[in-house]
Amino acid sequence: MRRFAGLLGWLGVVFLAFALVSALVEVFSSGVIVLSAIPEQFAWSLANLALGLVCVAIALVANLDGLRQRLHSSEARRASRYGTSAILGALFAIALLAIGAYYASLKDVKWDFTEARLHSLSEQAAQVLTGLKEPLEITALYPAPDFSRVAAFLEKFEEAAPGRVKVELFDPNKKPGRLRELGIASDQLGSGLIHLKLGAEKTDVSELSEEALVNGIVKLTRRTVKKIYYSIGHNERAIEGDAASEPVGFGTALAALKNEGYEVSPLLLASKADVPDDAQVLVIAGPTQKYHETEHASLARYVARGGALLALMDPRAQTDLIPDLARFGVKVGDDVVVDVETLAGSPYAPFAAQYGDHPITRGFRDAALFVAVSSVKPAQEGGSLAPLVTTGERSWAETDFASLASETAQPEAGKELVSFVPIAVAGDAAVTPAEGKQPGRLVVFGDSDFASNQWFDQFRNRDLFLNSVNWLLGEPEAIAIRPRKPGASQLAVSAPTLRMIRTVALFVAPEAIAVAGVIAWWRRRRAPGR
């Protein structure tokens, strides 16, 4: 036993050190010590303490005579001085770490390193909360098992607007009186409900998501509902009926506009003498049939009196709106943009990540995806209209459709737009305004596919479409980069499993490395010739 006494002594020191470290970690991670849970809470610390004491005791007993002789030597006195200094220094360092850990536990600091910022509030949410003029009360009504999940979600809103957002979370089954105070019927609850109150305005949100909650807050801040009309009757993208839910339909875009708090109504322009006076934006999405002459006149009068128009035009569509847009100052090319560096699998589906300096696209870093898009640019330089989106460096606007069909198309500088082709413009219409009016606003895209059901939630397509409508409505505070749909997978583990993972990572693995190191050092020290 005496042969291994030195090894046992150093192993005992390792076990005792890890007993102390693991106990400190448990104390500062939980914040409190529950006496009834000490065996479970400090099982690893107690096991190391017992093992360390046993090893040290065996080492002392085995080396008792040698220790007695060393204690009376000058070497022992010198080692005692250095040893005491080392111990005091170590204790001082541990004390500093403990004090630092304690003060760090008083204030939470969080970092979100996910690429899409999935665990942080979006720019849109931050803007909405920053712009609150009155305190916002968020009351979450969820069963007790959901409390931790809901509290973690709502905590981000409190942190984003301290002092302006008050959160209350309770179980409606345990507080039916509070439910009656809020004026909420039990059949409204479903699996959970969030009640929002801003001043005298109230609304309920049934979906626990940032987008739903932010849209609910936006509805409370708007005192009037803004009206959007959507042109129909010319084979535009469908917003009603079964066709609206097809991949090429606009059902998702319609739902997104309604979620933003806008009212959207279809408009058959031929049945009206003019565009309705309450129309704050007129959307024309992918028409493939001609307009009647009275409709052309109505559209011209609408823009001249200050109306806002969002036009999504597809390449070579059988529509006669191109001359109207030209009179408004926008030139839509009779071409198809080709991009040989696209990652979408087709050179006719370009990514566009070059954006103009405009409120609609300010802050955009990610690309938007377009499918079969034509060039769109201001008819004249120097006006209010300016390019909004352009394609990549190795793209061009092909006008020879026969070469497209034979896959022999090549860019022709001087004849075609080559490199960084503009595919959308925004600005004031180049028209003579009606008396006492400002010229209308325009946003024109050379593609309507990007806002269809199939592509709406891809890349920055959603933001590009909704921000265009927000800007046309004159609501700069609603222009933002919205939260992305979570795409990262999550690992759901139980509390015991999580505790086991933490124990292995923080204690078992480091201690095993330390023990292996001590054994290797001891063996080398006792090797022949040393």
3-state secondary structure of 386: strand
Q: What is the mean pLDDT of residues 355-360?
A: 87
Indicate the length of the chain as a whole number.
Answer: 530
**pLDDT per position as a tens digit, 306-316:** 999 999 999 98
pLDDT on residue 314: 92
Q: Which residue has the higher pLDDT, 295 or 344?
A: 295
What is the third-level CATH fold of 225-334+373-392+421-478? Rossmann fold (3.40.50)
Beta strands at 386-390 and 422-428: parallel, antiparallel or unpaired? antiparallel
Q: Which residue has the higher pLDDT, 221 or 452?
A: 452
pLDDT on residue 414: 65
Taking alpha carbons only, the member of 384, 379, 373, 331 closest to residue 349 is 373
For the chain, domain boundaries: 2-109, 123-210, 225-334+373-392+421-478
Q: Count Cβ atoms below 10 Å from residue 29 Cβ, excluding itself.
A: 11
pLDDT on residue 358: 87
Taking a C-beta distance cutoff of 8 angstroms, is the pair 275, 229 a contact?
yes
Helix ranges restricted to H, 196-349:
210-221, 251-259, 293-304, 322-327
- For residue 116, is pLDDT > 70? no
What is the third-level CATH fold of 123-210? Glutaredoxin (3.40.30)
Q: Which residue has the higher pLDDT, 12 or 441?
A: 441
Q: What is the mean pLDDT of residues 262-287?
A: 91
pLDDT on residue 288: 92
- For residue 35, is pLDDT > 80? no
pLDDT on residue 331: 93
pLDDT on residue 276: 92
Q: What is the mean pLDDT of residues 291-310?
A: 93
CA distance linking residue 11 with residue 520, whole number of Å: 12
Distances (CA, A) of 91 to 52, 86, 97, 158, 304: 18, 9, 10, 40, 80
**pLDDT per position as a tens digit, 42-68:** 777 888 888 888 887 877 777 766 656
Listed ranges 19-28, 333-342, 425-434; the one with the highest mean pLDDT: 425-434
pLDDT on residue 37: 45
Q: Hey, what are 259's tokens? A: 């979620």
Taking a C-beta distance cutoff of 8 angstroms, is the pair 343, 351 a contact?
yes
**pLDDT per position as a tens digit, 165-220:** 888 888 887 787 787 777 777 767 777 888 888 887 888 888 887 777 877 787 77
pLDDT on residue 490: 47
- For residue 100, is pLDDT > 60? yes
Task: For CA atoms 378, 384, 386, 388, give the dihedral sign.
Answer: negative
Q: Which residue has the higher pLDDT, 346 or 483?
A: 346
Q: Which residue has the higher pLDDT, 44 or 339?
A: 339
- For residue 344, is pLDDT > 60? no
- For residue 8, is pLDDT > 90? no
Looking at residue 93, its amino acid is A
- For residue 483, is pLDDT > 60? no
Place of tokens 């989106």: 389
Q: What is the pTM of this model?
A: 0.61
pLDDT band per the 50, 70, 90 thresholds, residue 520:
confident
DSSP 8-state class, residue 480: -
pLDDT on residue 146: 83
pLDDT on residue 342: 66
Average pLDDT of the chain is 79
pLDDT on residue 348: 74
pLDDT band per the 50, 70, 90 thresholds, residue 474:
confident
Distances (CA, A) of 426 to 104, 174, 386, 397: 49, 54, 6, 20
Element (H, E) at 282: strand 281-285
Taking alpha carbons only, the member of 403, 387, 280, 276 closest to residue 336 is 403
CA angle 220, 225, 231 (to 5 degrees): 140
